[in-house]
C-alpha cells in the first residue's frame, strides 16, 4: 500500500481494506510508521513511537480492526505506558492500568502506535509545551495546531493516522479540529466513560473522545466507546439505534440559531465571522429553518466561575503529579502561567468553589431553556484562523489565572460554554481562509442528542466536502 493511498482513507476505510484482505494489518502499520518517520520531524507531534503497537482486539469484526491510532499524553492512559502530561513535573510517570476508554479503544481494534504531545496539563489552546517544544500545523508549519489536543490533530491532518484520541475541557477537541481541518466531536457529559480514576473530571467540564477526518468515523467510534463504566455516578440515555446507522438518516427540518459575535465582545476575524452566514445559507438550502438568535448569557459571571473551576482542579491535578514524582512545584518544573494558576487554585476556598459550581448550574438552566426552542446553535469554533506559533504563550510570567484565562477565551469564547452545560458540540471544517487555512464552524445540540448533530454533520459533509488531509505529504514527496 502506498502512502498516498493510505492517507486517502479514513479509519473505516482502512478497516474495510483489511477485512477484505486487500491489505493486512502489518501493511497499514508500516504505512503509519513510515508516515510518522517522514512527517513528524515537520510537525513535532509524536513524542514516543512504541516499538510494537499496543495490544488490540484480533476480532476481524471490530469496527476499526487493524487501524493505526495515537493517544494524547493526558488523562487517558494505557498500562505500562508513560503519562507525562506535557510537563517537566510529571516526567517518568507510568500508568499502572488502562482507563476504561483505553480498554474500549483496544476492543474497537485500534492499534495504538505512540503518544502525542500536549500543552502542560492541557491548560492551553495551543500545543507548545516547554518540555516537548511546539507542535506545528501541517497546513502551515509556522502556525499553531490548536490545543490542547493539537498534536493528535496535527498527526491526523498530516496523514500519520486516520483518527486519534483527544479530550476536551474547554474546547480541546473542537479547537484543534478547527485549526487542522478535522471533524471534532465533543460528546455529551457522561456519554464516554472517564473511569476508573475519575468520575467527572474538571468538575464535569472535561470529556474524552477523538478527532477524525470523517463524520462516519466519529459516529462509528462513538458507537464503539459509548456507555457508562463500572461505578460511574450517572448514566445518560443511549439511543436505540447505532450512531453509524442513524447518521445516514435525514434529520428533518431542524431549527437552527446562529451567532457570530461572542458574549465577551472580543473581536472576531472577518473571514471567520463571514463563515457563519455562509454556513447558515447552506443549512437553509438543505431544508433547515435558520434564524439569527443567541442565548442570553452573563459572560462575566460565567467567566469568573470557569476560572475558579479550572484553577481549583488544576491545583489538585498538579499536587497529585508532584506526589507521584517527588518533585517540587516550582519554576523549574512548571511553565509560568500554569504555576500562577496553580498558586491561585491552592487559595480557593470551599465556599468559592461551591459558588462557582452553583453559577455553572445557573448557566445550564438558562442555556437549556434556549434549546427548548432551537435544535442547534451555530457559531464559529474560534475567533481567528490558526495563529502563528508563540502568540499564545503559556510561559509568560506576567499573567495571573484571570489574565491567562482571558487570553485563552479571547481565542475560543464559543467552545467552553458547552463544557459547562455538558451538551454535545462538533466542529466541522467547512471553510478555508484566503491563505488556505482551515476555518471550522461549531454546531451545538441538545444534551444527549449526538445523533442529531451527526445527521446534520453528514448532510454538510456531503453538500460541502472537505479535504481529508493537509498537503504536507505531497510537499515532502
CA-to-CA distance for 342 and 400, rounded, in angstroms?
10
pLDDT at 148: 98
Neighbour-count burial for 9-22, b at 16+ CB within 10 Å, e otherwise: bbbbbbbebbbeee
* pLDDT exceeds 80 at position 477: no
By residue count, the chain amounts to 477
φ/ψ (deg, to 5) at 247: -60, -30
Q: What is the pTM for the complete model shown?
A: 0.98
Q: What angle do CA 273, 392, 138 make, to 5 degrees?
A: 75
pLDDT at 239: 87
pLDDT at 476: 87
pLDDT at 475: 92
Q: Of 172, 188, 203, 405, which one is the catalytic site residue? A: 172
User: Torsion angle of alpha carbons 185, 191, 195, 200, nearest 10°?
Assistant: 90
Give pLDDT tens digits for 281-297: 999 999 999 999 999 99
DSSP structural state of residue 48: E
pLDDT at 44: 99
Q: What is the largest CA-CA distance in the chain?
A: 61
Q: Which residue has the cell 468559592?
A: 352
Query: Beta-carbon neighbour count of residue 436 at 10 Å?
Result: 11
- Read off the pLDDT of each residue in 111-133 and give the average, rounded to a whole number: 98
CATH number of 3-476: 3.90.1300.10
* pLDDT exceeds 90 at position 195: yes
Helix (H) or strand (E) holding 6: helix 3-6
pLDDT at 159: 98
Contacts of 361 (CB under 8 A, 6+ apart): none
Coil, strand or helix at 335: coil
405 is catalytic: no
Q: Report whether 159 contacts 472 (CB < 8 A).
A: yes
Q: Report whether 388 contacts 144 (CB < 8 A).
A: yes
pLDDT at 76: 98
72 is catalytic: yes
- Percent of the chain residues topping a pLDDT of 70: 100
- Read off the pLDDT of each residue in 8-23 and give the average, rounded to a whole number: 98
When pLDDT is cut at 50, 70 and 90, the band that residue 276 belongs to is very high
CA-to-CA distance for 320 and 314, rounded, in angstroms?
10
Q: Report whether 28 contacts 15 (CB < 8 A).
A: no
Beta strands, E only, 56-147: 68-72, 111-116
Coil, strand or helix at 459: helix
* pLDDT exceeds 90 at position 238: no
> What ranges do the domains of the chain cover?
3-476
φ/ψ (deg, to 5) at 257: -95, 150
Average pLDDT over all residues of the chain: 98
- Read off the pLDDT of each residue in 348-364 and give the average, rounded to a whole number: 98
Give pLDDT tens digits for 23-67: 999 999 999 999 999 999 999 999 999 999 999 999 999 999 999
pLDDT at 398: 87
C-alpha cell at 83: 503519562
Give pLDDT tens digits for 245-258: 999 999 999 999 99
Q: Of 117, 148, 155, 427, which one is the catalytic site residue? A: 148
C-alpha cell at 245: 446507522
- Read off the pLDDT of each residue in 196-200 and give the average, rounded to a whole number: 93
DSSP structural state of residue 140: B
User: If we measure between CA atoms, which residue out of 336, 418, 285 comes closest to residue 130?
Assistant: 336
Coil, strand or helix at 431: strand
φ/ψ (deg, to 5) at 387: -80, 155
Q: Residue by residue, what is the 3-state secondary structure of 243-310?
A: HHHHCCCCCCCCEEEECCCCCCCCCCCHHHHHHHHHHHHHHHHCCCEEEECCCCCCHHHHHHHHHHHH
C-alpha cell at 449: 442528542
Amino acid at each position: 500500500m502506498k502512502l498516498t493511498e493510505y492517507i486517502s482513507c479514513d479509519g473505516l476505510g482502512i478497516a474495510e481494506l483489511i477485512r477484505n484482505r486487500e491489505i493486512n494489518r502489518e501493511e497499514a502499520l508500516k504505512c503509519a510508521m513510515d508516515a510518522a518517520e517522514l512527517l513528524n520531524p515537520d510537525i513535532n507531534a509524536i513524542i514516543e513511537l512504541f516499538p510494537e503497537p499496543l495490544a488490540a482486539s484480533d476480532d476481524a469484526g471490530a469496527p476499526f480492526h487493524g487501524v493505526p491510532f495515537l493517544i494524547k499524553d493526558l488523562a487517558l492512559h494505557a498500562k505500562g505506558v508513560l503519562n507525562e502530561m506535557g510537563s517537566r513535573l510529571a516526567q517518568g510517570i507510568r500508568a499502572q492500568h488502562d482507563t476504561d476508554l483505553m480498554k474500549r479503544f483496544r476492543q474497537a481494534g485500534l492499534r495504538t502506535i505512540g503518544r502525542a504531545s500536549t500543552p502542560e496539563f492541557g491548560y492551553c489552546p495551543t500545543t507548545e509545551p516547554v518540555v516537548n517544544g511546539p507542535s506545528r500545523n501541517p497546513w502551515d508549519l509556522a502556525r499553531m495546531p490548536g490545543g490542547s489536543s493539537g498534536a493528535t490533530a496535527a498527526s491526523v491532518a498530516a496523514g500519520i493516522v486516520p483518527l486519534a484520541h483527544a479530550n476536551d475541557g474547554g474546547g480541546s477537541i473542537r479547537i484543534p479540529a478547527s485549526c487542522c481541518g478535522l471533524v471534532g466531536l465533543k460528546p455529551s457529559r457522561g456519554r464516554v466513560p472517564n473511569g476508573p480514576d475519575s468520575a467527572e473530571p474538571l468538575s464535569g467540564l472535561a470529556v474524552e473522545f477523538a478527532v477524525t477526518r470523517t463524520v462516519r468515523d466519529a459516529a462509528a467510534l462513538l458507537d464503539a466507546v459509548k456507555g457508562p463504566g463500572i461505578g460511574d455516578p450517572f448514566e445518560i440515555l443511549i439511543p436505540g439505534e447505532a450512531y453509524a446507522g442513524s447518521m445516514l438518516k435525514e434529520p428533518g427540518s431542524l431549527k437552527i440559531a446562529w451567532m457570530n459575535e461572542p458574549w465577551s465582545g472580543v473581536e472576531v476575524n472577518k473571514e471567520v465571522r463571514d463563515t457563519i452566514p455562509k454556513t447558515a445559507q447552506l443549512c437553509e438550502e438543505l431544508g433547515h429553518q435558520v434564524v439569527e438568535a443567541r442565548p442570553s448569557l452573563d459572560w462575566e459571571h460565567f467567566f469568573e466561575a470557569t476560572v475558579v473551576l479550572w484553577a481549583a482542579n488544576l491545583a489538585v491535578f498538579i499536587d497529585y503529579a508532584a506526589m507521584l514524582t517527588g518533585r517540587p512545584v516550582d519554576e523549574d518544573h512548571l511553565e509560568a502561567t500554569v504555576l500562577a494558576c496553580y498558586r491561585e487554585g491552592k487559595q480557593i476556598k470551599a465556599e468559592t468553589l461551591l459558588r462557582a459550581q452553583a453559577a455553572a448550574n445557573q448557566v445550564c438552566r438558562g442555556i437549556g431553556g434556549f434549546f427548548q426552542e432551537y435544535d442547534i446553535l451555530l457559531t464559529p469554533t474560534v475567533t481567528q484562523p490558526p495563529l502563528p506559533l508563540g502568540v499564545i504563550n503559556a510561559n509568560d510570567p506576567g499573567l495571573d489565572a484571570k489574565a491567562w484565562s482571558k487570553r485563552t477565551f479571547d481565542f475560543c469564547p464559543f467552545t467552553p460554554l458547552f463544557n459547562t452545560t455538558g451538551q454535545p458540540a462538533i466542529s466541522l471544517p467547512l471553510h478555508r481562509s484566503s491563505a488556505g487555512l482551515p476555518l471550522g464552524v461549531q454546531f451545538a445540540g441538545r444534551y444527549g442528542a449526538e445523533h442529531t448533530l451527526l445527521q446534520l454533520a453528514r448532510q454538510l459533509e456531503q453538500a460541502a466536502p472537505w479535504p481529508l488531509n493537509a498537503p504536507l505529504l505531497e510537499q515532502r514527496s
